[in-house]
Amino acid sequence: MSMRSYVAKRLAWTGVVTVLVLTLYFVMLDMAPGGGETVFAFQAASSGGDPQAAEETFRQIRGLDRPLHVRYVDYMTGMLTGDWGWSTTRSQPVLDALAAAYPYSLQYALPSTIISIIIGYGIGLYSATHQYELGDYLGTFVAFFGISIPNFWFAIMAVLIFAVQAPDVTVLGAQLLPLPSFYQTGVVQQYGWVSWENARQLLAPVVVVSTASIAGNMRYSRAEALEYVHAEFVKTARAKGASNWRTLTRHILRPAMVPLMTIFIADILGLFFAGAFFVEVVFQIPGLAQLAFNAIINQDTALVMGTTLIPVFIFVIGNLLQDIAYTVLDPRIDYGDR
C-alpha cells in the first residue's frame, strides 16, 4: 500500500472515530442526571407552581422535549450542514460561541507555545551538552520549579502580587504595574488585539502557562539529546572538526527530533484548540477552556458536542501528522506495508 492509500485510510478512520465519539457524548449527556431540570422544578413547586409543568418548560427551553433519536438525527445532520446547534446557556449559535472564544485563548496560547518551545528546547539542549555543569543544574532547577508549582496557585499569586499589591511602575511612559486583576474584553474593543494595553493584561497568563510547558519541553529535549551526545557518530563528527553548533543541530538535534516531534506537533496543533482551564478561570479569560468546561457543567448539549468535535478531530489528525513527520525525519520509517 502506498503512502497515499495509507493516509486516505487513516483519514477515513478519522471520520468514523469522530462520529463514534460524538454519538457516545450525545447519549451520555442525555443520560447524565441533573442539568438543572430538578432544581428548576423544585423552584416552581416551592412558589406554588406545578413541578411537572416546570420540567416540561425546562425541557422545551433546552430543546430536550423531543425523543432522543429525533434529536440525534437532527443534530448529526446539522453538524454535516454547518449548523452546529444553539447554545442554550449562552443564547447564541455554537459556532459563534466557538468563534468568540477562540481568539481569547489563542492570544495567550500562541506566545506561550512559542516561548516554551524555544526556551524549553534551548535549555534542554544546552543542559544535555553541558551535563552536570552549573548551567545544567540551573536549567534543571527551572524545569522542576515549573513542573512543581501548581498553575492555579501561581496564577492567584500573580494576581495578588502584580495587581493588588504592586506599586505604580511605568516603562517609557507606559504603565506596566500594577497589572489588571483580571482580563477585560473591553480593552480589546477599545485598543484592539495587538496593543500594549492588551499585551499588559496577557503578561501574567503567558508567564504562568509558559512556566509549566517550558519545564516539560526542557526535560524531554534534554533526555532525548543526552542519548546522542555521546553517540559514536557524534564523536566522529567532532573528530572530523564539526563545530559545536553543527554538531548540535545536525548530529544531535535531528535524531532527537523524532521523539520530540510528538510533543512539538501536539504543541502546534494545540493552538487550534488551545486553553488552559485554570489560567482562564483565574484571569477570567473567556476562552475555549472555560467554554468547554462550562458547557459540560451546565449540560449544554450542543455546545459540549461542538467543543468536543474539534479536539477529537485535531487529536486524530495530529496522530496522523506525527506519523508522517517521522518518515520525513527518519527515512528508515516506512508505512508502505501497513
Partner 1 sequence: MIGLAGCGGDGGGDTDTPTPEQTEADDDVLGDDTPTDTPTPTPEPPETDTPERLGDTLVGPEGEQVTLQLVYATGTGTTETQMQLVQQLYGQVGINVELTGTQFNSMLANYAQNKTEDMSQDDATFNAGTRDESTSAREWDLMGGIGFNSYPRTPPTIRSFWADERKAGATTNFYGYRPSTEVAPLIDEAASATDPDVTQENLAQVFGILSEDQPVNFMTFSTVISGFRNDVSGFTEEDVGPSFGFDDQTWYFGNDASVGGTYITGDSTGATTLNHIQISDQPSANRVALTMDGAYTLNNENEVVPRWVEDYDVKDGQQTYEFFLRDNLQWGADFGQMTADDWVYWIQEVHQAEDNWAGDTNQSNYFRNEEPIPVEKTGDLSFEFQLSEPDPFFLQRPIMWGEYCMPQGLLEEYRDAENGGQGLNEDDRVQELAYTGNLGPYEFERWDRNSVFVATRNDEYYARNTVFDGDVPYFEEEQYQVFGEEATRLSALEAGDITTTGLPADDVQRFVDNDEITVVRTPDPFCGMLVYNQRANGWEQLRNQQVRQALSMAVNKVTIAEDILRGNARIAYTHQPEYSDWYDESQVTRFGGPDSHAIGGAQRMLDEALPDGYEFQ
Distances, alpha carbon 140 to alpha carbons 68, 78, 128, 327, in Å: 54, 50, 10, 31
169-199 core/surface letters (b: 16 or more CB in 10 A; e: else): eeeeeeeebbbbbebeeebbeeeeeeeebbe
Shortest distance, position 178 Cβ to partner 1, whole Å? 7
* Site map (CB under 8 A) of partner 1, residues 186-215, x = contact: x--x--------------------------
Shortest distance, position 56 Cβ to partner 1, whole Å? 8
Nearer to partner 1, 255 or 287 (CB): 287
Question: 109-168: which residues touch partner 1 (CB under 8 A)?
Answer: 156, 159-160, 163-164
Shortest distance, position 78 Cβ to partner 1, whole Å? 14
| Interacting residue with partner 1 among 248, 276, 291, 304 (CB under 8 A) | 291
- Provide DSSP, 59-112: HHHTT-SS-HHHHHHHHHHHHHTT---EETTTTEEHHHHHHHHHHHHHHHHHHH
Nearer to partner 1, 247 or 301 (CB): 301
* Site map (CB under 8 A) of partner 1, residues 252-281, x = contact: ----------------------------xx
Question: 48-67: which residues touch partner 1 (CB under 8 A)?
Answer: 48-54, 56-57, 60-61, 63
Helices 94-129 and 288-297 pack at an angle, to 10 degrees, of 120
Nearer to partner 1, 38 or 322 (CB): 38
Omega before residue 178 within 30° of 0, cis: yes
| Interacting residue with partner 1 among 105, 213, 290, 307 (CB under 8 A) | 290
Query: Interface with partner 1 includes 78 (CB under 8 A)?
Result: no
* Site map (CB under 8 A) of partner 1, residues 16-55, x = contact: -----------------xxxx-xxxxxxxxxxxxxxxxx-
Query: Interface with partner 1 includes 178 (CB under 8 A)?
Result: yes
HSE on the CB side for 242, CA within 13 Å?
A: 16
Nearer to partner 1, 43 or 236 (CB): 43
| Interacting residue with partner 1 among 23, 131, 151, 184 (CB under 8 A) | 184
149-155: list long-range contacts, CB under 8 Å, 24+ apart.
149/211, 149/212, 151/208, 151/209, 151/211, 151/212, 151/276, 151/278, 151/279, 152/278, 152/282, 154/208, 154/211, 155/204, 155/205, 155/208, 155/278, 155/279, 155/282, 155/283
Distances, alpha carbon 215 to alpha carbons 128, 177, 262, in Å: 14, 27, 16
Query: Interface with partner 1 includes 95 (CB under 8 A)?
Result: no
The three cell numbers locating residue 20: 463514534
| Interacting residue with partner 1 among 14, 23, 92, 327 (CB under 8 A) | 92
CB 310 within 8 A of CB 272: yes
Nearer to partner 1, 47 or 81 (CB): 47
Q: State how far the Cα of 306 lies from the Cα of 43, in Å rounded to an integer.
A: 30
Nearer to partner 1, 38 or 319 (CB): 38
Shortest distance, position 137 Cβ to partner 1, whole Å? 34
Which residues here bind partner 1, judged by CB under 8 A? 33-36, 38-54, 56-57, 60-61, 63, 86, 88-92, 97, 100, 156, 159-160, 163-164, 178, 180-186, 189, 280-284, 286, 290-291, 294
